[in-house]
Amino acid sequence: MPVQAHAEEFRSPGTGENAAVGVLLSHGFTGSPISMRPFGEHLAAQGYGVAIPRLPGHGTSWQEMNTTGWPDWYAVLDNELARLRKEHDQVFLVGLSMGGCLVLRLAEQHGADISGLVLINPSVRTDDKRLVLLPVLARLLPSFPGISNDIKKPGANEYAYDRMPLRALHSLSQLWKVTREDLAKVTQPVLLFRSTVDHVVEPSSGRTVLSSISSRDVTETLLEDSYHVATLDNDAPRIFADSAAFIERLSGSVSGSDDA
């Protein structure tokens, strides 16, 4: 199935002194690399190696997404991580929403291979009691109306699906469960951004992450001027700058771009 133009992957090999550091960024459920592209471009401009892959079933159609599940999405990131580990001395992970859950799972599985995590409104659970029926609904109905483009900034667009593929959503709920069970295995430094108004992911997700991980170097930053897709919202410059400073501090890299 053709990939939509906005869903193109983004990669940069890195330049200068910061090329020793690679950053893997993951978009969220029903989204595509466009939600992370400005973030990735900001890091690439500073010389870091960057990869923003497109997860299977995303950026095409919700019907195709219903044929995929969390092991497919995870496998793409796992393979990308292996490549970055070969090409860079250190690798950091960045995830938005479901992407946050996926990179937490990578951190649980790969330990010291990962130098730090940046999480933006990560989803690891839901308080929506209706989803108790999801295993049944997923067999009866292909989709529900979607929740997308939760962005406060006028004119911004993440181009997510307008339908919620239920079989894929059921698989996401299974990812939440396995990830929550192993959160104590996360020991890497964590920088977590949480929007104070988020119409997609409840605050309980962020609280669950922070109360369950074993990391000692943990920072939570509240975003007062953004909704769920904060990487495309009013607080994006702060997210980019703080994340770059986080990576610089932990990796010993240099600030600014090669052109600075």
Task: Say whether 32 is catalytic.
Answer: no
Structure tokens at 152: 């406060």
CA–CA separation, 6 vs 24, rounded Å?
19
Residue 195 near residue 230 (C-beta atoms within 8 A) = yes
- 81 within a domain of the structure (yes/no): yes
Asked if 131 and 96 count as a contact pair (C-beta separation under 8 A), the reply is no
Rounded to whole angstroms, the Cα distance separating 223 from 54 reads 26
CATH of the domain at 118: 3.40.50.1820
| Residue 170 annotated among the catalytic residues of the structure | no
Angle at 137 between CA 134 and CA 142, to 5 degrees: 115
Q: What is the structure's pLDDT at 256?
A: 67
**Within-domain flag for 258:** no
The Cα 172–Cα 188 span in angstroms is 23
pLDDT at 260: 37
Report the domain count for the chain.
1
Asked, for residue 256, whether it belongs to a domain, the answer is no
**Structural domain harbouring 141:** 10-249
Please check whether residue 218 lies inside any domain of the structure.
yes
Q: What's the confidence (pLDDT) of residue 140?
A: 74
Q: Has 61 been annotated as catalytic?
A: no
Q: Which of 26, 32, 97, 171 is catalytic?
A: 97
Query: Does 257 map to a domain?
Result: no
Question: Strand 49-52 relative to strand 10-12: parallel, antiparallel, unpaired?
Answer: antiparallel
Q: Is 36 annotated as a binding residue?
A: no
Distance separating the N- and C-terminal Cα atoms of the chain = 42
Taking the C-alpha atoms of residue 84 and residue 20, their distance in angstroms, rounded to an integer, is 10
Q: What is the pLDDT along the chain (260 residues), one digit of tens a residue?
A: 899 989 999 999 999 999 999 999 999 999 999 999 999 999 999 999 999 999 999 999 999 999 999 999 999 999 999 999 999 999 999 999 999 999 999 999 999 999 999 999 999 999 887 777 777 777 778 788 888 899 999 999 999 999 999 999 999 999 999 999 999 999 999 999 999 999 999 999 999 999 999 999 999 999 999 999 999 999 999 999 999 999 999 999 887 644 43
Which two three-digit tokens encode residue 223? Answer: 């975003």
Catalytic residue among 42, 88, 170, 228: 228
Does the residue 162 lie in any domain? yes
Q: How far apart are CA 64 and CA 172, in angstroms?
A: 15
Write the DSSP symbol of residue 86: H
CA distances 163 to 46, 56, 156, Å, are 37, 16, 19
Q: Which of 32, 88, 148, 198 is catalytic?
A: 198
Does 98 belong to an annotated binding site? yes
